[in-house]
Amino acid sequence: MNSKPHPALFFVLFLFVFSFAAQADEVDRFVQATLQEKHIPGAAIAVIKNGKTIKTKGYGLASVEFNGPATTETVFEIGSVSKQMTAAAIMLLVENGKITLDQKIATILPNTPDAWKNVSVRNLLTHTSGIKSYSSLDGFELNRKLKRDDFIKLLGVQPLDFETGTNYVYSNSGYSLLGYIIETISGASYWAFMRERIFQKLGMTKTGDRDPQYIIANRATGYEWENEKLVGRDYDLTDVFSAGAIVSTVGDLAKWDAALRNDTLLKKETKLQMWSPVTFNNGKPFSYGFGFRLSEIRGHKLVAHSGQTAGFGANVSRYVDDDLTVIALTNLGESGMGTLIANGVAKIYLPEISLKALKTQANSDANLARQIETAVRERTQNNLSDAIFDAALIKTLTTERAKKNNARIAAFGAAKMRFVGEENAEGVNTYRYLAETPKRFFLWRFRLNADNKIEEMIVEEEEATNF
């Protein structure tokens, strides 16, 4: 006897498919609008829900010179998203019993300075070593092709930024040292180890070393936005090595995401270690794991990392409890463009994390509300008074770059302000106000000094009002 599906089932399936199709169209509109507003030549995204890729697409141009479109096959530099892969390589060595997390790096790497004697593998993974990041130092350019011993010698003369284990300061140096540890322990080059143990195993065939000497099919060109025009990126590159020199595609990064969802690469308990906050020597936790930033966006747990190199920006965000991953790759070096796109796409699939979902809170301090409204008005008019602002903040907000950004915010029109939250950390109050203009929300974060002058005023987040 043949049975026909109930008509209600077809209706439910139709609604399900229609919902995702509508979201996909909204994603296209958002990404295309963002590329235009931020002067981003090209981008590619992937959205993974419940382990299934539900959206993947390229936008704009991978090469402006050749009018070459960005596609899902376009190879972008992923910058510091590389760090979670380097961390995974270290954890493979830990699982194999080759090293331990609390092993001092001086027992692995030769000729380390005495100042590094307390630095462990864990400290490098969590940016708690105190070793100065080479990002702002001369002598670490890609064309120098530094080897391990030269790298340690050149970096070792720099004093520690803080006592090991007492603080967190982001350091590319730590992740380059992890690359040298991988080489020293495995006997293979970092790149050979990554290919054999991670990339090939996961089928990440388009992932590898960004070095310009290599001919990489479908490689995107990197750009910068300077003096109101698009320019080619500076090729006097820092050698970020195992801290950020990986190139990949959204498709390969979807395979990476799949490996984090199952146990094909690392054991479950290993991944839990990687996604646990670091603990300082005094017992206080900090929201960074092993190559992953750990946070919460309006009640939704987020495990993510951005990447930034000259000419490129990337982000991979995993909303753990929602089983949603958003991957965004761009070929503009302006800071935060990958994150901007990834966050905006996530809000389409999780509207409860959008700014319009923020609830107005009761605020009994009318004087503070007036002060903050005045501060927003003065800042957007580029007319800051020392009666409202701390002197150091005035200096920060009156640079030419800051003035241009203030004018950009002002161009969205007058804002209605509403108080949306307050938090206290170690006796310091932080206030958040949502400014709504006709076309854009701005989430402002404020902090006052002892004289009740504003010493911190940051646009923490912004989004279009038509989400």
DSSP letters of 373-437? HHHHHHHHTT---TTTB-HHHHHHHTSHHHHHHHHHHHTT---EEEEEEEEEETTEEEEEEEEE-
Inter-helix orientation angle 172-186/148-156, to 10°: 140
CATH (one of 1.10.260, 3.40.50, 3.10.450, 2.40.10) for 357-464: 3.10.450
Q: Residue for token digits 């936005």?
A: 225
**DSSP symbols for 67-89:** TEEP-TT-BEE-GGGHHHHHHHH
pLDDT tens, N- to C-terminus, the chain (467 residues): 445 555 555 454 454 444 555 666 899 999 999 999 999 999 999 999 999 999 999 999 999 999 999 999 999 999 999 999 999 999 999 999 999 999 999 999 999 999 999 999 999 999 999 999 998 888 898 888 889 999 999 999 999 999 999 999 999 999 999 999 999 999 999 999 999 999 999 999 999 999 999 999 999 999 999 988 999 998 778 889 999 999 999 999 999 999 999 999 999 999 999 999 999 999 999 999 999 999 999 999 999 999 999 999 999 999 999 999 999 999 999 989 999 999 999 999 999 999 999 999 998 789 999 999 999 999 999 999 999 999 999 999 999 989 999 999 999 999 999 999 998 887 889 999 999 999 999 999 999 999 999 999 999 999 998 76
What residues contact residue 404 under an 8 Å CB cut-off, 6+ apart?
none
Cα 371 from chain centroid (whole Å): 33
User: Given this model, what pLDDT does residue 1 score?
Assistant: 45
Tokens representing 253 are: 């990064």
**Does residue 311 contact residue 323 with C-beta atoms inside 8 Å?**
no
At residue 185, the pLDDT reads 98
Q: What is the pLDDT of residue 428?
A: 86
Q: 47 with 55: CB under 8 angstroms?
A: yes
**pLDDT at 251 (0 to 100):** 98
Q: What pLDDT is stored for residue 466 in this prediction?
A: 79
Predicted confidence at residue 64, as pLDDT, reads: 98
E strands of 71-137, at which residues? 76-77
Domain borders along the chain are 79-353, 357-464
Question: Whose CA is closest to 177, among 198, 153, 200?
Answer: 153
Beta bridge partners of 288: 293
DSSP per-residue string spanning 182-241? HHHHHSS-HHHHHIIIIIHHHT-TT-EE--TTS--TTBPPPEEEETTEEEEPP---B--G
Q: Compute CA 151 distance to the chain's CA centroid, rounded to the nearest angstrom.
A: 26
pLDDT value, residue 15: 47
**CATH number, domain 79-353:** 3.40.710.10
User: What DSSP designation does 144 have?
Assistant: G
CB distance 30 to 38 below 8 Å? no
Q: How many C-beta atoms surround the C-beta of residue 453 within 10 A?
A: 19
Q: Which two tokens stand for residue 192?
A: 């050979």
Q: Do residues 168 and 189 make contact, with C-beta atoms less than 8 angstroms apart?
A: no
Pairing label, strands 229-232, 223-226: antiparallel
Q: How far apart are CA 326 and CA 317, in angstroms?
A: 5
For 8, residues 6+ apart whose C-beta sits below 8 A from its C-beta are: none
